[in-house]
Amino acid sequence: MNRYPTWKYLIVAIALLAGLLYTLPNFFGSTPAVQVTAKTSAGIKLDEPARAKVESALATAKVPSTGVTLDSHGIRARFADEDTQLKAKTVIESALVPDKNLDDAPYSIALSLLSNSPEWLTKVNALPMYLGLDLRGGVHFLYQVDMKQALTKRLDSLSGDLRSQMRQKNIRHAGIDRTPAGILMKFRDDATRILAKNLINDNFTELQTVEGTDGSDLTLVANLKPESIRKVQENAIQQNISTFNKRINATGVAEPIIQQQGADRIVVELPGVQDPSKIKELLGRTASLELRMVCESPEEISAAVGGAVPFGCEKYPSKTSGSGFELVRKRVELTGDRLTDAQPGFDGQTQEPAVHLTLDAAGAATFKELTRENVNKRMAILLLEKNKGEVVTAPVIRSEIAGGRVQISGAMTSAEANNVAILLRSGALAAPMEIVEERTIGPSQGKANIEKGFHSTWVGFSLIAVFMIIYYLLFGVISVMALGANLLFLVALLSLLQATLTLPGIAAIALTLGMAIDANVLINERVREELRGGATPQAAITAGYERAFGTILDSNVTTLIAGLALLIFGSGPIRGFAVVHCLGILTSIFSSVVVSRGLVNLIYGSRRKLAKLSIGQVWKPGAGNGAEVAAKPAAR
């Protein structure tokens, strides 16, 4: 009766072994390290001389390291603590990149935490839990993407395309304007309007049209379809995330997290980083290129002479212009989106530093048409960075330029050309962003959080263990072992899932343990009650476990409902709490029922003539002190 079939014992044993295996890596801890890897684009390999160079640089600077190793990932230098690690990073940087130009160095040098667990554990995918920012220090940003701007940008570019296609197809409109939410086209007659409408339906599937009138003119308003609005927004987020990724990777921060959160937010978490302003500047940087025509019609020039900015024009500073600024049209002919590459170089004729740009097919076509139609006019190339624009150069178009290769040159040093090229290449942000949440946690704070969290969990666990063992004797010991198994399973599961452990997560582990003991208390009390009712020890065990199970299930389901609600609606710290809480409820059912029953069966199951269970004193009313003769067992 109180015996498990062998397979059941086997399952428990395997579960415990697996639990142990996957919990193990967490005990080895991790070491602060500096990791040097070769950038893939650089095409070099890190070798033994490079390792020796790092080692000797550290020795010269008297920064004690606990080992500099070379493996397939690169060079890793380990240190005793975070302070040494930070110092070492500076030393290694100046040793490997003497010119301090980290952006262009062939190496990336990053702070990282290396697990101390042995190789064979890593091979079976047993990795330690990933520690959240609140436990290891670092910066956290929550960016909100300005979706309105993303839509405006898309409409701007569409209206430019529409204008040029109507010109190509010879559809004579009486004006195309941008309204806040769409594109307004005016026509003299209905036939033209139908032509325009067909053009939009055929070639601009993102747009939908509404007809109307404006005075004597017939109008057609085009705006973005709901599904294309969604698509633009998705693309904006995706593009910004990939731009972030590129920029963060360039800095060499190890294990960055860059994720979408909700419809329009991006979370950036950088462990180990302590200087948020530098990262913020880097991430927020936007550089984009625009091609516009220079305002140079006679009336515009005369207006400008009077000091006014003519209608439809904007004033931008320019180093190449004699007056220090340039008047350019508001209308954008071509944007940096069409750019596929940007490389620094030199002008073939003048040997001036220059940036060579390559446009994609659509961009090349637009550029060809633009140059054909504007021969002998001036075209301005604007570089917009941090919302400040500058006209880099404003050359006169001599002839039509086909092939999509454009060169920017004029009053640049070669370092500036280099910078411009990097900025353009690393991509622009699709839409401006705003930081809505920012958190910096110092490394010492993280360490204190871990210590306090674990300390309080252990103290609580020990208190429960002591009480249970005193109160329930051997059954108490079994309960505590089941609780220990629960902790093992939970940590193993979290490590296996590579969940991020945060302080609320540790709190959830503690709380789950405190709650999980409930199941064993239920069982033990029920067994005692059966004994009190006169059942034999073996029957009491069977009945105790069977009857308690329904209640354990009920109470865990209600707790799980609360946990799931937290998981669905929670974000950030709440989510960390909820994940652990839900997993803990599941593991606790297994350990408190299956594992503890297995132990009980192992101890008592084979004894046929069992006279007594070691479950503490079972008090029977009426027995012992004999004061109340009439007292019936239990109740009434």
Q: Which residues, numbered 577-606, are part of the site for another protein (CB under 8 A)? A: 577-578, 581
Site for another protein in 465-494 (CB under 8 A): 467-468, 470-471
Q: Is 563 in the site for another protein (CB under 8 A)?
A: yes
Q: Is 244 in the site for another protein (CB under 8 A)?
A: no
Supply φ then ψ for residue 407, to 5 degrees: -125, 130
Nearer to another protein, 375 or 448 (CB): 448
Judged by CB under 8 A, the stretch of 139-147, 177-185, 341-349, 414-422 that binds another protein is: 139-147
Site for another protein in 97-126 (CB under 8 A): none
Rounded to whole angstroms, the Cα distance separating 304 from 489 reads 76
Q: Is 170 in the site for another protein (CB under 8 A)?
A: no
Return the ∠ at Cα 92 (arms to 90 and 96), rounded to 5°.
Answer: 120
Nearer to another protein, 50 or 517 (CB): 517
**Nearest distance from C-beta of residue 567 to another protein, angstroms:** 9
DSSP state, residue 388: E
Judged by CB under 8 A, the stretch of 118-126, 177-185, 371-379, 615-623 that binds another protein is: 615-623
Contact with another protein (CB under 8 A): which of 116, 205, 413, 571?
571
* Residue 632 φ/ψ region, left for φ over 0, alpha for ψ in the -120 to 50 degree band, beta for the rest: beta
Residue in 105, 100, 104, 89 with CA at minimum distance from that of residue 54: 89
Site for another protein in 185-224 (CB under 8 A): none
Rounded to whole angstroms, the Cα distance separating 275 from 232 reads 33
Rounded to whole angstroms, the Cα distance separating 95 from 77 reads 14
Contact with another protein (CB under 8 A): which of 40, 41, 72, 277?
277
Q: Is 428 in the site for another protein (CB under 8 A)?
A: no
Q: Is 439 in the site for another protein (CB under 8 A)?
A: yes
Q: Is 142 in the site for another protein (CB under 8 A)?
A: yes
Contact with another protein (CB under 8 A): which of 4, 199, 231, 284?
284
Nearer to another protein, 59 or 448 (CB): 448
β-sheet bridge partners, residue 220: 185, 211
What is the three-class DSSP state of 183? strand
Site for another protein in 338-397 (CB under 8 A): 386-388
**Nearest distance from C-beta of residue 598 to another protein, angstroms:** 21
Q: Is 558 in the site for another protein (CB under 8 A)?
A: yes
**Nearest distance from C-beta of residue 514 to another protein, angstroms:** 3
Rounded to whole angstroms, the Cα distance separating 470 from 451 reads 28
Q: Is 561 in the site for another protein (CB under 8 A)?
A: yes
**Nearest distance from C-beta of residue 593 to another protein, angstroms:** 12
**Nearest distance from C-beta of residue 131 to another protein, angstroms:** 15
Q: Is 511 in the site for another protein (CB under 8 A)?
A: yes
Beta-carbon contacts of 245 under 8 Å, excluding residues fewer than 6 positions away, are: 256, 258
β-sheet bridge partners, residue 143: 266, 435
Residue in 37, 41, 449 with CA at minimum distance from that of residue 252: 37
Number of residues that bind another protein (CB under 8 A): 97
Beta-carbon contacts of 355 under 8 Å, excluding residues fewer than 6 positions away, are: 342, 343, 344, 345, 407, 408, 409, 412, 417, 420, 421, 424
Contact with another protein (CB under 8 A): which of 217, 529, 539, 594?
529
End-to-end CA distance of the chain: 33
Judged by CB under 8 A, the stretch of 64-72, 328-336, 341-349, 552-560 that binds another protein is: 552-560
Contact with another protein (CB under 8 A): which of 15, 357, 370, 441?
441
Would you state the torsion angle of the CA atoms of residues 381, 385, 390, 394, taken in this order, to the nearest 10 degrees?
-10
**Nearest distance from C-beta of residue 183 to another protein, angstroms:** 24
Beta-carbon contacts of 313 under 8 Å, excluding residues fewer than 6 positions away, are: 295, 300, 304, 327, 328, 329, 330
